[in-house]
A and B are shown apart, each in its own frame.
Chain A
Amino acid sequence: MSNSSPRLVYLTDRAAQQTSELLASFARRRPSEGVVYWFGIESESFAVVTTLIVPDAQTGPGHLRTSVEANAEAIQFISGTPLVYIGQAHSHPGQHVEHSHTDDVETFACFDGVISVVVPRFGRDGLSLKDCGVYRYLGGQFRHIQNPQQHIQILPAVADLRRGKRR
């Protein structure tokens, strides 16, 4: 992903829900942040998240780190496919969703267009973009996005339009 105008990222509601479930799973036995990498398919103007990968991260109440080996393992998983790295979601313990300095400098991976979404309360309340911090790597650094709808949108994964379904 190396476009001067960052691609709009699409995520299905199911992928959003699964992302928050995976983030919450880090905090089942102890208070712990979590991280999920988003991989998917790009066109010139947008990217669609298709695949969630949980790296073998070192995590704790106020931090998470991924080693070079853990990131390589994630990349290896998608090698030979058309999937590319689109960004990641990671959780914070409380309601604050600001990128920390560590998030700015250690987030995997930093190149233009990468999206980083910070999900509050360990992801337990689901992934609702209005409650999340949305950051984008632009011009050599992560920037807080004030208008997330122009950068990431959640689409329905399933629609059941059969008549008579709602009884």
Chain B
Amino acid sequence: MSVPIEVSLLAIREELVAARQYATAAGLQLDADPVEAGEPRFSVTFMNSQSESFIAEFHCADYPMYPPTVEFVNRDRSERGTPRLYPQGFHPTPCICMRYNRKAYSERGGPHSDWRLLDWRLPTGNAHGIDSLALMISDLHSKILESKGRLG
């Protein structure tokens, strides 16, 4: 089952309003040009505590039924998902090990066989559910801000 791209783009555009507000308030660079061009993806540049930059790309095919695939990429997108593109402290797979990342699920090769893609909005443990693009950005922002160096 897949979500028509028009539906995904509509949901992404709606949620990008809050995501942009958050990014502006946090001083993050959000690049949503691909969305405007009809592609369901955007990227956010984060800085860690040592002012190293990390670019996370949110690929939102089938959103909002399924969570995005969130992956760290280099500036020209010629490299993606390698340890050196990840901030220190993330899962060594490497992977952003959160329910909001499709890559974290075992059915997509990730470490979590205990999560179901359809339940991606559920909270994990005592934490609160991260159920919007703005909250995903906010969660990554606080984690990256605390990290030092790169995974590899």
- Asked if B7 lies at the interface with its beta carbon under 8 angstroms from chain A, I say no
B126 touches A127 (CB 8 A): yes
| Least distance between A54 CB and chain B CB atoms (Å) | 16
Task: Give the interface SS of chain B, mostly helix, strand, loop or mixed.
Answer: helix
CB < 8 Å A-B pair total: 52
Binary flags per residue of B110-130, CB closer than 8 Å to A gives 1, else 0: 000000000000000111101
Q: How far is the CB of A17 from chain B (nearest CB, A)?
A: 7
Top 5 nearest A-B pairs (CB, nearest first) are A126-B126, A30-B25, A94-B146, A125-B127, A31-B26
Cα distance A127–B125 when bound, in Å?
Answer: 11
Distance (Å) between the CB of A167 and the closest chain B CB?
20
Q: How large is the interface on A (under 10, 10 to 19, 20 to 34, 35 or more residues)?
A: 20 to 34
Question: Which residues of B have CB within 8 Å of A30?
Answer: 21-22, 25-26
Contacts of A24 in B (CB 8 A): 128
Q: Does B10 contact A (CB under 8 A)?
A: no
Number of B interface residues, CB 8 Å? Answer: 18
Contact B26 A95 (CB under 8 A): no
Provide 8 A-B residue pairs closer than 8 Å at the C-beta atoms, listed in order of the A residue.
Answer: A29-B18, A30-B21, A30-B22, A93-B142, A124-B128, A124-B139, A125-B127, A125-B128
What is the CA–CA distance of A122 and B25 in the complex, to the nearest angstrom?
15
With a CB–CB cut-off of 8 A, which chain B residues contact A125? 125-128
